[in-house]
Structure 1
Amino acid sequence: MSSDVTIILPDGSEKVIGPDGTGADLATQLGSRAANDALIAVANGTQLDLNQPLPNGASVSLIFPASEEGLEVLRHSTAHVLAQAVLALYPGATFSIGPPIEDGFYYDFDLPDGQTFSDDDLERIFAKMKEIVGRKQPFIRSEIQREEADQLFADHPYKLEILDGEADDPTSGPQGGVITTYRNTDEFVDLCRGPHVPDTGYLGHFKLMRVAGAYWRGDEKRQMLQRIYGTAWSS
């Protein structure tokens, strides 16, 4: 039988959250605001999804949308929704990286047959993203083996380069030999270290800004990708 988990809050007080306690369990104990608004937990400096177990004796804080760290999580999760929308709307499209940045996020895509995005495309993609947000799809984290990763991303060569270590991406590349993915539906899964908001319903305040060209890995000898920039806010 698992023992209760005791964690230390930022004010130095201790909280017992039960066996295999998670950030979500802690948020529930702290009250309705924390339960409704917390995005992720940070345990001993490591960011965790709210449904990941907290280490016993860890110093733990919850991250909320209005904080700088919370905004970064919101923007990262919104980038995933952008990728899901594009892959659903443009059969044959492939994707590479989609990190949060200082004032928003972006995601790079390679469209089939030399297609490019237009302003009308951005409106269509935005509408699809709103649909995904409305479904409150959970972000489901998995640790997988390389063989499974190769199968999942067989049609996405840029992801395979990241897995091979040929392209450095601090938001999605294997960390300490561990490959992690986040799945939102049976149809959409992304290579990512996380963490993410509990579900897409936590998002919604976002805007797609513009399209630009970006060489893969910044190498002008490589493929020119289509980069969509966006931003997201807490409210």
Structure 2
Amino acid sequence: MLKKIICNTIIFFMLITLTANATTIIAVIGENKIMLAADTRLTITKKNGEKVHEDNGKKLYKLKNGVGVAFAGDTNSIKTLRSGKDIITKSVSTIINDLNNLNCIDNLSVAETAELIAEKYVNLLIDYTGDILVVGFDNDEPVIYGIKAVKGRAIWQGISGKGSFWAIGSGSEMMVKKLRENVGCEENNNMDLCMDHLKELKDREILSIIKESLQEVIDDYEENYREEERSTGGKVDTLTIKP
């Protein structure tokens, strides 16, 4: 079990009437980098059930300690906690700001950062259901941690090694299918075989393929789904994490 990290901070959350949900995000470990790609569409579900879309959403973040974080799911569904008369509204972007303002953040490993997010943030977001990727290098070894949150209960595990990848969000299955096609292993569902193909590629080639694959997912949603059903859309955003 990973050691517990105690940081001197108190986080306050306020339940708001909008929830942003669904997305397509992937992280792939390359030769010397970890590459993330995400669409930029946010699907906003109002309290009355009406859905509206915002195509300039930010889902990929880099912390001060060099760790990358990606969120998918009900990222604005948050809890109310009070301190005297003060109520502070938080969302994913402000959670990231809180992390960067912690005195301990510079010294946290990728694993410790993932544990901090899982224990001190996700467990406070009692209505949050979704996935979070936490990626980076521990002792120069690349690692991807995936956090699965179900109504604020965090379950997480990690994978590492060149060619390893992790896709999250409503379009993740389609994303993996496109990735397999574009690396030439679409005839076989064996993920190990797909990773073998990725291991042979340079980082720039991997980044090009995941951008191409995600653009195809976005195009597929636009072509085959009604506007209110397009949980993936906008444009392709990328983030590269180095040792």
TM-score (norm 2): 0.28
* Higher RCO, Cα 8 Å, sep 6+: 2
TM-score (norm 1): 0.29
